[in-house]
Amino acid sequence: MDTLVYADLEKRSALQRAAEGGDTQAKLDLAEQLLSFAPYDVVQGYRWASAAAQDGNGKAAHLMAVATAEGLGVKQSFHSALDCLQRSAELGYRPAQRELLALAAQWQRARADDQTSDWRRVRQSVDVLAWLKAPPPQAASSAARIMVVENFAGSDMCDWLIEFARPGLQRAQTFDPDTGRGRYEAGRTNSTVAPNIAAMDMVLVFVRARIAALTRLPILGFEDAAILHYAPGEEFQPHYDFLENDTHALQSEIHGGGQRVMTFLGYLNDDYDGGDTAFPLLDWRHKGKKGDALYFYNATPDGQPDRRTLHAGTATTRGEKWLLSQWIRFRPATMR
């Protein structure tokens, strides 16, 4: 469960003073705070990232690339984002160099940490339109709005996301409706990593852009993407993804960010047994092939919970399962 993380305001004030005094690292740290933790100030966060990048900080230029592609603090532009990523690579920031090669479909060179001096040429070979294009979805259920997409992502893309996520995996939590924070539950035993803006990978950023293009929902309604891992026997028992409106914490979540209207699941591997995505009330289950995707609407067009979407990540019996999970918020006109 993606839960809101708040900044240490005293630490933020200290960073503000240091950044105003010209400390490059403080500029970057402050930018990450403002862009990634509540209370947010994405405009100021972007400005401080730009200031650190002007000082020659490659990681700051990478942060600018992520923010520009997501439209945080600046007008969304994939081409401008790639310019920032190129600048980060030229400043020697290794993650930017690897991600730029990956976006240019030079996957082998990216994994090998291949060196090049002509990052402009690599950047020019990135096909933005190809990254935003997805195969058409197919309706999978007439009872609830569930769609299946074959070959949503290529094999190299799936492998990249798995390796990106592997080092940061932690036991997954669920949303505590009373406190608004995360909590551990016996019904959810899998692991997850949900990188915030400061920790985002540009391949993941472009995957999110493809999801937005496919679902026709704005990227600004996307929660932090999560990459899920299920070891043999791990599961997520039947649950809903929409937000109930029956506690103060949940009402605040809905008021602040809108209802969670859609769940998108991308299947990153298929070399396991079991592990279906099951919808018990619909008597329907699905196990996508590597690169396939499934998405479903958790709420009706007027924002009301659709209780037919009760679903589960069933336990694997052999092998490990990897998924990309993207929850999408939206405010229908009746909720605004």
**Domains delineated in the chain:** 9-126 (1.25.40.10), 138-335 (2.60.120.620)
- Predicted TM-score (pTM) of the model is 0.94
Sign of torsion over alpha carbons 128, 216, 157, 49 = positive
pLDDT in tens, the chain (336 residues): 445 577 789 999 999 999 999 999 999 999 999 999 989 999 999 999 999 999 999 999 999 999 999 999 999 999 999 999 999 999 999 999 999 999 999 999 999 877 777 999 999 999 999 999 999 999 998 788 999 999 999 999 999 999 999 999 999 999 887 787 889 999 999 999 999 999 999 999 999 999 999 999 999 999 999 999 999 999 999 999 998 887 887 788 888 788 999 999 999 999 999 999 999 999 999 999 999 999 999 998 888 899 999 999 999 999 999 999 999 998 765 444
Assess whether the previous peptide bond of 39 is cis (omega < 30° from 0): yes
What are the angstrom distances between the C-alpha of 6 and each of 11, 12, 95, 181, 284? 12, 11, 26, 11, 39
Dihedral angle at the C-alpha atoms of 253, 258, 259, 263, nearest 10 degrees? -100
Q: Which residues is 105 bridged to in the sheet?
A: none
**Burial class, 310, CB count within 10 angstroms (exposed 0-12 / middle 13-18 / buried 19+):** middle
d(CA 281, CA 269): 26
Amino acid identity of residue 214, one-letter, is L
Residue carrying the six token digits 């909590």:
183
Query: Which residues 6+ apart lie within 8 Å of 41 measured at CB?
Result: 34
**Range list of H helices, the chain:** 9-20, 24-36, 42-54, 58-70, 78-90, 94-103, 107-111, 119-124, 128-132, 155-165, 202-215, 248-257
Query: Which residues 6+ apart lie within 8 Å of 124 measured at CB?
Result: none
3-state class (DSSP) for residue 125: coil
pLDDT at 332: 62
Smallest Cα–Cα separation from 198: which of 41, 325, 28, 3?
A: 28
Query: Which residues 6+ apart lie within 8 Å of 236 measured at CB?
Result: 172, 187, 188, 189, 190, 312, 313
pLDDT at 336: 45
What are the angstrom distances between the C-alpha of 186 and each of 136, 191, 228? 37, 13, 17
Residues in the chain: 336
pLDDT at 116: 77
Secondary-structure breakdown of the chain: helix, strand, coil percentages, each rounded to the nearest 5: 40, 20, 40
Q: Which residues is 295 bridged to in the sheet?
A: 147, 264
Smallest Cα–Cα separation from 258: which of 242, 276, 247?
A: 242
